[in-house]
Chain A
């Protein structure tokens, strides 16, 4: 079977945008290819739709037009070119990933989904909203997004056209022939409650899988700390240092600066740098920046005692299961996918949404109780090994592709063929 993955870029988000599946699903007899707007790898199986600076310029101008006129995913013409690629023509199944990142026009998806058996992974709630990726505390997505009080949220609008975009999606989604995949029970619940999501008859819960060998259970904490320059005797809190509002860094800062720690504490971060200067006087800061290195990245989890993940919105939370695979407890907010993904309260620890004081109370408790950290860490490893095993994920996807293809073949076959 040939499966084409369509998304915005190949290497960023490769663990869940289809790129890694090109190799990973080969063992299941699936030949993969990928069509993207922008290609960063040298993989010959990846084809790019933007063919140089002139197309980049065009794309940028289209983005400006959409933002100024408060449209969201209507003008991008790349779907029409996608359908002309040999990869699309050859594919048995097309799997769409981050297509809302200015890859396709919503007006083209009905046509595209009609051309090939199609699977669409909802990586976030955008398909269910008038414009935003994460509605967070807003409940407008339940009633049509009128009015939208959060126009500046990604993807921002100049004027409030959220309800019009909601209506456009509602019209397009009617009788759409696509199988939808979500990775968490939280997002599945949103799909079922949404006036937009409830129009999809085939919705599948397939949690992302993790290659646990990358996060070896017996990874030596002290050795990891030495390699990263982290003091061996400190209590170490790992945080994702991101300026994206949804990642909730401001609440991590508020929790940590609430009072002086009881013992020497290091704040270890990945992603961006320079956002935690407020903590410099009370904490040792070690900022690793964006870590692409597959060997270095797991060391950050191995070196920490606790992974603080104060996301205000998270549709799955791959980093949470990476921490669990490394045997580290996760502290997060309620109201996101994380409590269910981390099996709170037994394994993960979830506190009320946006409550920095509650985060701090849990950090202090875990700092004082190594046995609880170990208990939760060991449970996390066991959960990842059973629930988020990479092979389970691949089996589930391969099974889905097979069932989608079979259903479409049956539909195309003349009625008399079934009797034969």
Chain B
């Protein structure tokens, strides 16, 4: 359950596409969903931390030179690095 919601959120954060049509229905009110969503909130802050500490200079540079369109790419890059570090992601590779 937790992985399913995390996966969905990560996909959306990465490219904005929806998987809701093909994914099984989740009961948002279940305790499992609550635990997963709480974990996702933490994940979101971790992603933000990555952007702040490692990519902030690049973001500013890209903002000045290329406009805002590049930011999703940077977020995606941060996510890919994070996935590569997590045991769950390693198992699924």
- Which residues on A are within 8 Å of B, measured CB to CB? 51, 53-55, 57-58, 61-62, 64-65, 68-71, 74-77, 80-81, 105, 107-108, 158-159, 161, 163-165, 167-168, 171
The answer to whether A168 and B75 touch across the interface, beta carbons within 8 angstroms, is no
A sample of 20 inter-chain contacts (CB < 8 A) reads A54-B51, A55-B48, A57-B68, A57-B75, A58-B51, A61-B13, A61-B75, A62-B13, A65-B9, A65-B12, A68-B20, A69-B8, A69-B20, A74-B37, A77-B44, A80-B41, A107-B41, A161-B28, A164-B27, A168-B28
Distance to closest chain B CB from A54 (angstroms): 5
**Cα of A74 to Cα of B33 in the assembled complex, Å:** 11
Instruction: Render B5-29 as a binary contact track against A, CB cut-off 8 A, 1 for contact.
Output: 0001100110010101000001111
Which residues of the other chain, B, contact A58 by a CB distance below 8 angstroms? 13, 44, 47-48, 51, 75
Interface of B is mostly: helix
How many residues on chain B are close to A (CB under 8 Å)? 32
**Cα of A347 to Cα of B19 in the assembled complex, Å:** 54
The answer to whether B20 and A158 touch across the interface, beta carbons within 8 angstroms, is yes
The answer to whether B12 and A107 touch across the interface, beta carbons within 8 angstroms, is no
B2 at the interface (CB under 8 A from A): no
**Cα of A159 to Cα of B28 in the assembled complex, Å:** 12
**Cα of A53 to Cα of B55 in the assembled complex, Å:** 13
- Known A58-B13, A75-B44; further 11 A-B contacts with Cβ < 8 A: A54-B71, A61-B72, A61-B75, A62-B44, A64-B16, A75-B40, A76-B41, A77-B45, A107-B41, A108-B41, A168-B34
**Cα of A305 to Cα of B9 in the assembled complex, Å:** 53
Inter-chain residue pair count (beta carbon < 8 A): 84
Distance to closest chain A CB from B42 (angstroms): 8
Distance to closest chain A CB from B21 (angstroms): 10
- Which residues on B are within 8 Å of A, measured CB to CB? 8-9, 12-13, 16, 18, 20, 26-29, 34, 37-38, 40-42, 44-45, 47-48, 51-52, 55-56, 59, 63, 68, 71-72, 74-75
Partner of A61 from B16, B37, B38 at Cβ < 8 Å: B16
**Cα of A118 to Cα of B16 in the assembled complex, Å:** 36
The answer to whether residues A68 and B12 also contact, given A57-B68, A168-B28 and a CB cut-off of 8 A, is: yes
The answer to whether A61 and B28 touch across the interface, beta carbons within 8 angstroms, is no
The answer to whether residues A165 and B20 also contact, given A53-B63, A57-B72, A75-B9 and a CB cut-off of 8 A, is: no
The answer to whether A65 and B41 touch across the interface, beta carbons within 8 angstroms, is no
Residue of A nearest to B31 (CB): A171
The answer to whether A107 and B34 touch across the interface, beta carbons within 8 angstroms, is yes
**Cα of A164 to Cα of B38 in the assembled complex, Å:** 16
The answer to whether A68 and B18 touch across the interface, beta carbons within 8 angstroms, is yes
Distance to closest chain B CB from A145 (angstroms): 12
Which residues of the other chain, A, contact B52 by a CB distance below 8 angstroms? 51, 54
Which residues of the other chain, A, contact B29 by a CB distance below 8 angstroms? 163-165, 167-168, 171
Residue of A nearest to B10 (CB): A65
The answer to whether B75 and A75 touch across the interface, beta carbons within 8 angstroms, is no
Residue of A nearest to B59 (CB): A54
